[in-house]
Structure 1
């Protein structure tokens, strides 16, 4: 085991990555700050604040006293993340670009650049997460591997977005904020002469969309194919839309003249029809089953799944949702069938089923389809305590 000395810190221009870099420097590491430019604001139509963020990141590194670099991953982001996002929306899927950005850009392209080009022995990010190697990576040992753990601050925990990263990258990753809560991070920033960052808004969503409407943005990259809104109960056309790429499962439809609002149930890319149902808790929005593609296990396949073919653990498909108990079965084609302990609303193909066991994020699998809905199964929902999110 070799002692870790040089750490390459991803600096975004925000408070979390800034405090991570400051903490690393205070621990005696040789730190190099790097800003990842993933979107070309000169060539694309997106409205991204990357130039301001680069200036902020450079100011942060100067304030802390570490070297600063900018690395361009525009090509990699376009090929590995954005093109896939466009293809998914055209196919009627609901992608998660944050998960794919972490997998392909931050913990692959950036990781490779940090180790091979900058001579780093580890990388660091401002994610709220922990590993079994500890808060700070003094030494690494690949013989046992490393497990990804939830952050102490459950409200800020970001392991959901890290659920597809590789074991190799995780073994050389440091998450200085994993044991801290947000209020402590702000306090450290103030004490470290990084006070201006306290006024900066946290980045939310995909940066290059900016303040624009998402439907407007995505339509700049996908040809419009108008279609019909069709009532799942009556099979009648109740409205028109400008393309399935503008809608996601569970989303409210702005259709006039209705007693109750309609919500998207399903999409058909071959006909451009969107099935809708009246009412936010319509049983066609809920299911107790999820079918996924082959899973990515961060450390290794869970032993109960290997030995017994069934794993009891926790599930979520959106970052902000509470964990739901589930049973996971492995099929002969190495895909997963997940039985949820209670029905969940608006599970969409293209999203990720992220699995947890106690403190550990085990990994994730891309959702191929939800199982039969409560409507299909003829379940009476009146007495069920359904999640309305």
Structure 2
């Protein structure tokens, strides 16, 4: 339980269905670290109030060290190397469905407020609420963990339904609570790049027009930029966007306009691939496999073909060019609504040649 509306309603629904429910609140960040801002005390109070109303016990579990070593440090290392990692994917894999699940007796279920589903075969499926489906974030969770997990909100088709239920259960405070986005300790009003700058020591450098090679400004440290985002470089009449990062020369390459051809890619090659299930429908075939893929949570699923390269990495080739793929992002694949697994983007292949 996070102190939010989704996990609160999930707990209420499970108790309503006759389950013996206990709430767990994960503490993943040490609030004594002044460089981070996390509203954990208020969230913990909200969890206790909900559990008191439901008449169920609740426990706070400390995963600060686990999170630092298994998620946060790797996130910093990736940003320092010029990558764009997804700490939420890592947190689900290592903390929620790793450290937390390991503390739960084997004859008990773990339940979460994620908008996704499992079926009678234990397959991870998209949630019915298309705009809130969170199977993307669970694409590295092993099948053995999913077999022990319940997703009470998976069949809901609207977040508003969940909020209305929260009022029905008497959870007015969490029903109207502002929804949290991103990493909690960064805070709602802080720029992520400003937060990273407290941990990553990278100098400023030149911002260069990719087409002409001319210097157009200065970047504030390459870790704070990702492919496709606005570069916030003020030069000439154009709005500049990030096209490439050269860590060797500490150079940020930019292009004018958000639809510049260099921002589009046709394929990516992924490392550290995870297949959720031991049996895959057709991925071992020597010919390309047709499926759906996403490189970002909010991206619409796109038709693509999956093949395995001789070095063991997987290549995802999209039917249509994809804007702003970045190394370090998670590329996730589905067969219809069935989430098969994912990998970390290691290489990106341009859609158009500028030569």
Range class of TM-score, shorter chain: over 0.9
**Among candidates 190, 193, 200, match of residue 177 of structure 2:** 200
The whole-number CA distance in structure 1 between the counterparts of 2:186 and 2:54 is 31
- Does residue 104 in structure 1 map to residue 91 in structure 2? no
Tell me the distance in 2 between the aligned counterparts of 1:375 and 1:274. 19
Question: Aligned equivalents of 2:107 and 2:10: distance in 1?
Answer: 16
For 1:173-194, what per-residue CA distance to the aligned partner results, in whole angstroms no more than 9, with x for missing partners?
A: 0000001132221222111111
How far apart are residue 301 of structure 1 and its match? Answer: 5.3
Please point out which of 335, 341, 356 is paired with 2:319.
341
**C-alpha spacing 1:78/1:120, structure 2 compared with 1 (3 Å):** farther
Asked whether the equivalents of residues 88 and 95 of structure 1 are also in contact (C-alpha less than 8 Å), the reply is yes
SS in 2 for 1:103: helix
Q: Which deviations, in whole Å up to 9, do the C-alpha atoms of 1:121-175 show, x marking residues without a partner? A: 1100000010013xxxxxxxxxxx6210011111111001111111111110000
Query: Cα–Cα, structure 1 residues 50 and 120, in superposed 2: closer, same or farther, change >3 Å?
Result: farther
> SS where residue 30 of structure 1 aligns?
coil
Query: Per-residue deviation at 1:306?
Result: 1.0
Provide the residue aligned with 1:323 in structure 2.
Answer: 301
Matched residues in 2 for 1:131 and 1:108: separation? Answer: 18
Spell out the pairing of 1:67-106 with structure 2 (5 A cutoff). 67-106=57-96
Q: Does 1:157 align with 2:129?
A: no
Structure 1: stretches of 5+ with no match in the other structure: 1-10, 134-144, 379-389
| Structure 1 position 373, deviation (Å) | 3.9
Secondary structure of 1:93 counterpart = coil
1:332 deviation in Å? 2.0
Q: CA deviation at 1:343?
A: 0.5
8 Å Cα contact 1:294/1:336 also seen in 2:
no
Alignment length, in residue pairs? 353
Query: 2:209 matched to which residue of 1?
Result: 231
Q: Is the 8 A contact 1:304 1:310 kept in 2?
A: no
The CA deviation string for residues 5-63 of structure 1, in whole angstroms up to 9 with x for no partner, is: xxxxxx10001000100111111111110100000111341111011000101111111
Q: Residue 310 of structure 1: CA displacement? A: 1.9
Looking at structure 1, the residues matched to 251 and 325 of structure 2 have their Cα atoms a distance apart, in angstroms, of 19
Q: TM-score, normalised by structure 1?
A: 0.88
d(CA) in 2 for partners of 1:370 and 1:224?
24
Alignment partner for residue 132 of structure 1, among 102, 107, 119? 119
Q: CA deviation at 1:351?
A: 0.2
For residues 72-109 of structure 1, the C-alpha deviation after alignment (integer angstroms, 9 at most, x for no partner) is 00000000111011001100000111111111110001
**Structure 1 residues 120 and 190 mapped into 2: Cα distance closer, same or farther (>3 Å)?**
farther
**Offset of residue 224 of structure 1:** 3.0
Secondary structure class of the residue paired with 2:103: helix
Q: Tell me the equivalent position of 1:12.
A: 2
Is the 8 Å Cα contact of residues 33 and 66 (structure 1) preserved in structure 2? yes
Give the equivalent residue in structure 2 for 1:221. 199
Query: Which of 269, 274, 278 pairs up with 1:300?
Result: 278
1:267 maps to what in 2?
245
The TM-score normalised by the length of structure 2 is: 0.96
User: How many angstroms does 1:257 deviate by?
Assistant: 3.0
SS at match of 1:46: coil
The two structures, once aligned, show a CA RMSD in angstroms of: 1.4
CA drift of 1:120 comes to 5.4
Tell me the distance in 1 between the aligned counterparts of 2:350 and 2:33. 44
1:121 aligns with 2:108: yes
Alpha-carbon shift at residue 202 of structure 1 (Å): 0.8
- 1:39 matches 2:29: yes
Number of the residue aligned with 2:147: 171
Q: Distance in 2 between matches of 1:244 and 1:114?
A: 41
**Matched residue of 1:277: which SS?**
strand
Bigger mean CA deviation after superposition, 251-260 or 71-80: 251-260
Q: Which runs of 5+ in 2 are unaligned?
A: none
Q: Distance in 2 between matches of 1:218 and 1:371?
A: 28
Query: Whole-Å Cα distance in 2 between the matches of residues 154 and 256 of structure 1?
Result: 38
